[in-house]
Structure 1
Amino acid sequence: MSTEGNISDVLTNLTRPPTDATLTVRIIKSFEFRTERSLVLHDINLETTTVGELKEIASKAVKTQPGWKAYRNVELDTLKLYSKAHGAKTTNLIINLDHDDWLFKDDSKFLIDLGFENETEVSFFNGEMYEKFRANPETRWDS
């Protein structure tokens, strides 16, 4: 009888190597209306991909892939950690407003050096809009 664990016992963030990770990028259009859409990126090499390159990959997807037309008028310039696989998530449905240390400001940093792993989820948004929302974090439902 084998003493090895079942494949379902392996944490999903450990099922893929850092050279072949899947990331979810939450593209945020509006903080106050909680408008966001998830972009799933496969086959990302966390050891060689920088923050700036991840921004470029996500921006290009928004500009060229079908279904993103409503998001093309937002100047996306800021990345922030939202959650890691099996980690705690914020109670705020659009973005975590605490942990400014989770903002990725250095475009030259490699993702692996920032703690990225398979199934990491990051938010991609306009930094100026984020600061305004952070100063007054009220959501709206009307148009």
Structure 2
Amino acid sequence: MIAAYIAAFAAIVAFAVLLQTFGVIGHARLASEAARESMNALNDPKLSDDEKERAAQTASLHLFGAFLQIALRSLAALAVPGAVLWAADRLGAISFHEAMEAMVSWPMIAAACVASAASFFLIKSKTS
């Protein structure tokens, strides 16, 4: 069962790293900026209704494109560690079922939260 916890934690870390590597975070940032710009345009009293409409339509296209990018890249980031866990199960190294159970256990969720918070503050302190 310890091997399942180690494999589960490694899969979670790999997923987080792959989210960054595959550009999911960047696309989420771009989607947030597009939404913010659209709201600014809609709240701008100097723009006509037609200009506001064009801004909203442009933003909706950007947001839909960002959704597709985020969804597909997230799927790829999830598929890689999932495939590794599946292959390890087929080779008899770990049980895929036990690794999945370990991923949703309270100790693993707590460890992932602590690791995420620590990495966030570490990255934040390096950029400050």
TM over 0.5: no
Larger radius of gyration: 2
TM-score w.r.t. length of structure 1:
0.25
Structure with the larger helix share: 2
TM-score w.r.t. length of structure 2:
0.27
Structure with the larger strand share: 1
